[in-house]
Amino acid sequence: MFRSICILFAAAAVILCGACRTTVENNDRTIHELYRHMVQQTGGTFDGEMAVDPIHADAGFALKVANRQVAFYKFNTKYKKARAKIEYVEKNGFLYIYGFKYSAVARGSFIMVDYEENPLKDKLLEAFNSF
């Protein structure tokens, strides 16, 4: 009886802990890998490096896709503040930069910003989510 209860408790703990982790494990991937992937998948062109200070990212770049800028940021998920930023984006679907609200989506250690109004939104989301 006691053994059965322990097994059930252990199984429930595994299921619950597995559900808590919603992010993709890609912290070992680089911003350059994301850049190459997004250019290949969307046909976008490099539009400059992004300032990382406003959102406390490790690195960032912008692509010009369909004549609109889309920004990408890399966070180190080993840090609590980075995980909190990603979880906020996952929960709310936006973030603020210099007080301006931008649509955002997270994928593991990366965030794509200001994609919502892009004519190629679906292609951007598909490419980003496949990284």
Q: What is the domain-level CATH number for residue 81?
A: 3.40.1000
Predicted confidence (pLDDT) per residue in 68-90, tens digit:
999 999 999 999 999 999 999 99
- 119: in domain: yes
Phi, psi of 11 (to 5 degrees): -65, -40
pLDDT value for 8: 42
Q: Looking at the whole model, is its pTM more than 0.75?
A: yes
- 42: in domain: yes
- Assess contact for 107 and 81: CB atoms under 8 A: no
CA-closest candidate to residue 108, choices 80, 75, 81, 79 = 75
pLDDT value for 24: 80
CA-closest candidate to residue 92, choices 111, 65, 67, 69 = 111
- 13: in domain: no
CA-closest candidate to residue 26, choices 103, 71, 86, 80 = 86
Task: List the chain residues with pLDDT less than 50.
Answer: 2-22
- 3: in domain: no
Residue pointed to by tokens 């004549």? 67
- 8: in domain: no
Domain that holds residue 98: 25-129
Domain count, the chain: 1
